[in-house]
Homo-oligomer: A and B are copies of this chain.
């Protein structure tokens, strides 16, 4: 059911086509929060439209269909946002690998931790660039919703934390 709300959330930010939404999932949403491919996105958009939570805002070139969120859609999104379930539910392959780390022989653990540290470094650099650009746009355009900014900051802090954890785990392994 979460994909539904992921789409509503993106459309609450601004109207978009299925193609554009797919790109959003590829570039940010799917990397940090909720992955989805176009084969799920298009059917779900049709269902959302059938349910009246979104509507066709424009039909453009190459069959492009731009959707916009409706008032019932905003209400449904708000309802979902404000009532998180008691039980946490996560599926993150990367974190699973971290969790199972000690199943490996120490030498492999070390190699994997070093790879994680490098990977995080790349991610952090990328996010720092993104944030710099967002902040410039903000200063120039004067008015921009902080959607990307909050999310980017969250991503940045998450990867910094993961890198620091890996450094700590590595040190812990060495002092054995």
Contacts and interface: CB of A to CB of B under 8 A. Distances in A.
A157 B167 CA distance: 13
A94 B108 CA distance: 32
Interface residues of A, number: 61
A103 B8 CA distance: 9
A100 B81 contact: yes
A32 B161 contact: no
B34 A91 contact: yes
A151 B165 CA distance: 10
B5 A100 contact: yes
Contacts of A35: 89-91
A98 B78 CA distance: 13
B91 A85 contact: no
A93 interface: yes
A68 B99 CA distance: 19
Contact of A96 (B5, B94, B112, B162): B5
Interface in A20-47: 28-35
Interface of A: 2, 5-6, 8-10, 12-13, 28-35, 77-78, 81-82, 84-85, 87-104, 108, 111-112, 115, 145-147, 150-151, 153-154, 157-158, 160-162, 164-165, 168-169, 172
